Structure 1
Amino acid sequence: MGGAISSRKSSKPLAAAADKDNSQNNRRLSVAGDKKNFPVAEKGVVGQTLDRGSNAFINYFAMSNAGYEPDGIKKTNQDAFISMMEFGDPSVSFFGVFDGHGASGHFVSGYVKKELPKLIDKEILKQESQKNDVDEDLVGKILIQAFEKINNKLESDKSIDSSLSGTTAVGGFILGKNPKSRTIVMANSGDSRAIIGYEKGGKYLAAELSIDQKPDRPDEKSRIISCGGRVEPLMDENGYAIGPHRVWLPNMMLPGLAMARSIGDDIASSVGVQATPEIMTYKIEEKDKFMVIASDGVWEFLSNEQVVEIVKGCQGNPEKAASELCSRSLRCWKAEEECQVSNLSVFSNCFQVVDDITALVVYFKH
């Protein structure tokens, strides 16, 4: 979610609450940028975007809902998603979620959605999908190269100002001709997330397909510091921390990015923020029931285990599952904001802030 941090976050009660539970800090991904200097979003990106599909291998549904600005008005949706059920071949699928941030975040995420598939050779993936054993390293390299190429392409494209704007990107391929043994290769830059829901001993459990790249994650922090950046939360005038750890230039309060990797964010890249994704692979077996890819609008308040339980309860209906994830997340956002506002009596006219919420649910057919 882009935009400046709300002034009400500098109060003592909120800062104290944040110290108690950093995992539930509402992130405001960019604290730099001025929307008036950037073009107005294209018509049609405020509201809801849906997609669905089904073939011999999978059944999926994707839903993306715009959040709310501090004035209580629907904001421009800076989330975007890719849902290509048959990417050059019925046995290859391409899914991804992109969470834009900063004044031009919606342009960046939209750009990645449009241009990323063009940088990937469908024929190579088709050939890999027909093999008994997919070359996971090769497919991973394809994703890494695509992420890096789209980042370089965006930086050279002067129609979008990505100096203080960018997007998370988590996405990858499901491939394999055997429905009982297929492969997922997932790439992740940022803190959107992908998981698997699987059954074991009559219980449903979660397996990670990505790991959030927060600035205070030790390996990520080390890289940023070695590149001359700072990693620390924003502090108010009384010395209270506001929200999560962020990436800063050495001598300036910019860019304030709450993630260690992203596509775009040219200024942040000068201090170690990078587009190069981490790759995770997963062999799908009969115990594996579904995959969920979602933006931070979902993961802000719902754990992997909670998401698995919600999707499990939808009994194989991806539309119901995606809708329930978005609805539950929205209720959590509103409840959190109402709680914070109630603690800030001096700001009696505060309005709720709700992040964009995107959930993509894929059920596997064995």
Structure 2
Amino acid sequence: MLRACCRPLERCFRWPGAAGGGDGLLWHLDLKPHASGDFSIAVVQANSSLEDQGQVLTSPSATFVGVFDGHGGPEASRFVNNHLFPHLHKFASEQGGISAEVIRKAFDATEEEFLHLVKRSWPSRPQIASVGSCCLVGAIADDVLYVANLGDSRAVLGRRGPDGKAVVAERLSRDHNVAEEEVRKELAELHPDDSHIVVYNRGVWRIKGIIQVSRSIGDVYLKKPDFCRDPLFQQFVCPIPLKRPVMTAEPSIKTHKLGPQDLFLIFASDGLWEQLSDEVAVDMVFKNPRSGIARRLVKAALNEAAKKREMRYDDLKKIEKGTRRHIHDDITVIVIYLDQCRGASRSDGSILDCTYAPADIFSLNAELA
């Protein structure tokens, strides 16, 4: 079973006090192999409870990546971290391999299970209906990459430019965030009778003046109006008049055939992209050594966040979690190198077996943070 293969990242990260330490809220896995090359992970905490979760599943024939960025609390991202990959395993096994439909079914099943959890927890914890998580998933099998996304975490491809020397950044996911004019127009078209579906509030655009992302796992009160109208829930959250759901768990899915020009992938929560552009991040990966590259990206983002507050990085490291959220968000970065994505056949001419056969999962243990 997939769960028996799980290996929490506390065995792989350099935790505070370990050799090469540093920032007590920054953990990293510098370099590990996967089916098509190497990968690197880094996570930094800003919230009182870590709301970001990240996973890399490696098998002899496939690699799966997950970045789950929670909001309103850590419950939804932890839930997705524990349930989405098992659903991917189940549906891929049933259908003989990974596909866009398999990924969509896994998202739907995870959303449905979280809804059941909310209903069970509702009497004692009504505020759980306001907890949600962005969800970014990548799957590489048979030299095909699938990227599925809810929210504003982002996947960016670094590919070799036309001259063969430079690197080009290509965004592979769509930001479901009302900061994007296209997303605001989409919501306005879906809610023509609601002139306040998107409101400019506290310096940013928000759905109903509340939330910036338009798709997620969870956020049940914005998908099921009955929760929002319940007096028990209204004791904890201001009542919001809803005629219909204003958020969805329908992922956008992109399929990309990997080729020799495709060098690496960066999967990261929006905490990274708030500080670094796609181009800057890709250029940094291209020009620096592999080992510790995810940590390098996180530190670059933290340096940018510190500069905006006219601070030094060393000063930022001294700020405790919770307070630090005023300066930057939780940040999760996973860099996937694509060394062996150059064709689906082995050197002996046999075809790679791309059925879903999990071997190991590297997953951040939420309970430690």
- Give the TM-score, by structure 2 length: 0.68
Matched, 1:336 2:302: no
- 1:360 deviation in Å? 0.3
Alignment of 1:284-299 (within 5 A): 284-299=258-273
Q: Is the 8 A contact 1:92 1:125 kept in 2?
A: no
CA displacement at 1:48 relative to structure 2: 3.8
Instruction: Give unpaired runs (5+ residues) of structure 2.
Output: 1-15, 17-23, 225-244, 312-322, 341-369
Query: Residue 273 of structure 1 aligns to which amino acid in structure 2?
Result: M
Residue of 268, 277, 298 corresponding to 2:251: 277
For residues 90-135 of structure 1, give each alpha carbon's deviation from its aligned partner in whole angstroms, at most 9, with x where no partner exists: 1111101011111x2x121011011111112368369866xxxxxx
Aligned match of 1:110: 78
Q: Which structure 1 residue ranges, 5 or more long, are not aligned? A: 1-43, 69-74, 130-137, 177-181, 235-241, 340-349
1:78 and 2:51 matched: yes
Q: Corresponding residue for 2:171?
A: 208
How far the C-alpha of 1:223 sits from its partner, in A, is 5.3
Residue 305 of structure 2 is aligned to residue 325 of structure 1? no
Distance 2:113 2:26 in 1: 28
Normalised by the length of structure 1, the TM-score is: 0.68
Q: State the 4+ residue runs in structure 1 displaced beyond 6 angstroms.
A: none
Sequence identity percentage? 26
Q: CA offset at residue 220 of structure 1?
A: 3.3
Aligned length: 273
**Matching residue of 1:220:** 186
1:266 aligned partner: 220
CA distance in 2, matches of 1:55, 1:120: 18
**What SS does structure 2 have at the residue aligned with 1:362?**
strand
Q: Please state if 1:365 is matched with 2:332.
A: no
Q: Hey, what does 1:354 align to over in structure 2?
A: 328
In 2, Cα distance between the equivalents of 1:199 and 1:127? Answer: 34
Alpha-carbon distance, 1:279 to partner: 0.4
What code does the residue aligned with 1:78 have?
E
Q: CA RMSD in A?
A: 2.6
What amino acid does structure 2 have at the position aligned with 1:326? V
| Alignment partner of 1:183 is 2:144 | yes
- For 1:112 and 1:231, the matched residues in 2 are separated by 27
Post-superposition offset of 1:58: 2.0
In the alignment, the residues of structure 1 paired with residue 185 and residue 148 of structure 2 have an alpha-carbon distance, to the nearest angstrom, of 18
| C-alpha deviation, 1:56, in angstroms | 4.7
Aligned pairs for 1:39-50 within 5 A: 47-50=25-28
- In the TM superposition, residue 210 of structure 1 has moved relative to its aligned partner by 0.1
Describe the shift of the 1:62–1:268 C-alpha distance in structure 2 as closer, same or farther (beyond 3 A): same
The answer (yes or no) to whether the contact 1:155–1:162 under 8 Å persists in 2 is: no
Higher relative CO (Cα under 8 Å, sequence separation at least 6) belongs to 2
User: How much has 1:283 moved relative to structure 2?
Assistant: 1.1
CA deviations 1:254-310 (Å, max 9, x no partner) are: xx1111111110122243211110001111111111000000110012111111011
Which residue is equivalent to 1:172? Answer: 138
**How far 1:321 sits from its partner (Å)?**
1.5
Q: Is the 8 A contact 1:194 1:294 kept in 2?
A: yes
Matched to 2:76, the amino acid is V
Structure 2 equivalent of residue 238 of structure 1: none
